[in-house]
Amino acid sequence: MKRPGRTVLWLQSGGCGGCTMSMMCAENPGLFATLENFGLDFLWHPSLSEESGSEVIDILNDIIAGKRTLDILCFEGSVLRGPNGTGKFHILAGTDRPMLEWLRLIAPLANYVVAVGTCATYGGITAAGNNPTDATGLQYDGRNEGGALGAAFRGRSGLPVINIAGCPTHPNWVSETLMLLSEDALALSDLDTLRRPRFYADHLVHHGCSRNEYYEYKASAESLSEIGCMMENLGCVGTQAHGDCNTRAWNGEGSCTRGGYPCINCTAPEFEEPGRIFTETPKIGGIPIGLPTDMPKAWFIALASLSKAATPSRLRQNATADHIIAPPADRNTNLK
């Protein structure tokens, strides 16, 4: 049974387009099949639609004039407020009107407003450094509510902006959110405190990390390309980062930690300015700053020193190698 049609408008601004490029990696089913089977009709998408130029402007004006119903507005990229609040660092081509204004005109008309990617949700990498363009998220400016649309904003459905954070987003974080919205099946209680869909944000990147055994015994990699745990030395914050990256694979069977580099917490506000080098763990008195989520500090230190003392030789050897040099012993585990 095909669902009744839901219209989707997709706009891009101060970002890299990578969330769209990632979304196009959806598999089994692919993106277009998913959209079709859930009645999701793209009125316009900048990478996928035929319409160009005046045809696009007609669509936008029809929405504003109430001639077309907009069910879902997806916005990818930060909203650029600069220079001086004018938004002119991105004037939408062919319109002489900053994207900031288009967003403020169209968002209130959408049933649901979806911020796709950490730029659109919280400002993201475009807001890094001295934030030259005064980039912000749709409803958050970093950790602070507000952003381009203001804290009080609600879509016609009554929901605030739905924040699919991630840099980039996993293809299915986006497609599953859209599928749920097509059924009006995503409620405020399905969003976490930063308004991320809980179906992926209630997990930690640590869950299912293939380096878990190294973590348990604090057998740490010292340099990139080594296969030990990357928390102690290499800046990995997978124990704090929200996302199901290691239980839901990327591009077949990947994840950042499986690719040999640390989790940088890209689903979080202000991940772009960690106050340290991305690939180094800051320490005080030899103890890494940044505890695993929900873990009392004293217990963590006690457990860490205990597990470090108990590290099997196999893990100690492998942790600083780039492939397994000491395989697990073969044991007969049959209970007799």
Q: How far is the CB of 94 from another protein (least distance, A)?
A: 3
| Of the candidates 39, 40, 101, 112, the residue with the CA atom closest to the CA atom of residue 74 | 112
CB of 144 or CB of 279, closer to another protein: 279
| Of the candidates 85, 83, 93, the residue with the CA atom closest to the CA atom of residue 53 | 93
CB of 52 or CB of 61, closer to another protein: 52
Q: How far is the CB of 173 from another protein (least distance, A)?
A: 12
C-alpha to C-alpha distance for 145 and 93, rounded to whole angstroms = 29
Q: How far is the CB of 28 from another protein (least distance, A)?
A: 9
C-alpha to C-alpha distance for 320 and 221, rounded to whole angstroms = 5
| Of the candidates 286, 271, 288, 273, the residue with the CA atom closest to the CA atom of residue 235 | 288
Own/partner pairs for 91-100, CB < 8 Å, 24+ apart? 94/53, 94/54, 94/56, 94/57, 95/57, 95/60, 99/11, 99/13, 100/148
Q: How far is the CB of 187 from another protein (least distance, A)?
A: 30
CB of 39 or CB of 260, closer to another protein: 260
Write the single-letter amino acid at 57.
Answer: I
Q: How far is the CB of 335 from another protein (least distance, A)?
A: 31
CB of 43 or CB of 315, closer to another protein: 43
Measured from the Cβ of residue 110, the count of other Cβ atoms closer than 10 Å reads 22
Measured from the Cβ of residue 327, the count of other Cβ atoms closer than 10 Å reads 8
CB of 163 or CB of 257, closer to another protein: 257
Q: How far is the CB of 330 from another protein (least distance, A)?
A: 19
Q: List the structure tokens of 12.
A: 């891009």
3-class secondary structure, 229: strand
Q: How far is the CB of 293 from another protein (least distance, A)?
A: 22
Residue 233 burial class via C-beta count within 10 angstroms: exposed 0-12, middle 13-18, buried 19 and up: buried
Q: How far is the CB of 143 from another protein (least distance, A)?
A: 19
Host H or E run for residue 6: strand 6-12
CB of 7 or CB of 255, closer to another protein: 255
Cβ neighbours for 110, distance < 8 A, ≥ 6 positions apart: 9, 70, 71, 72, 73, 155, 156
Q: How far is the CB of 206 from another protein (least distance, A)?
A: 15
C-alpha to C-alpha distance for 266 and 95, rounded to whole angstroms = 33
Q: List the structure tokens of 85.
A: 């609040």
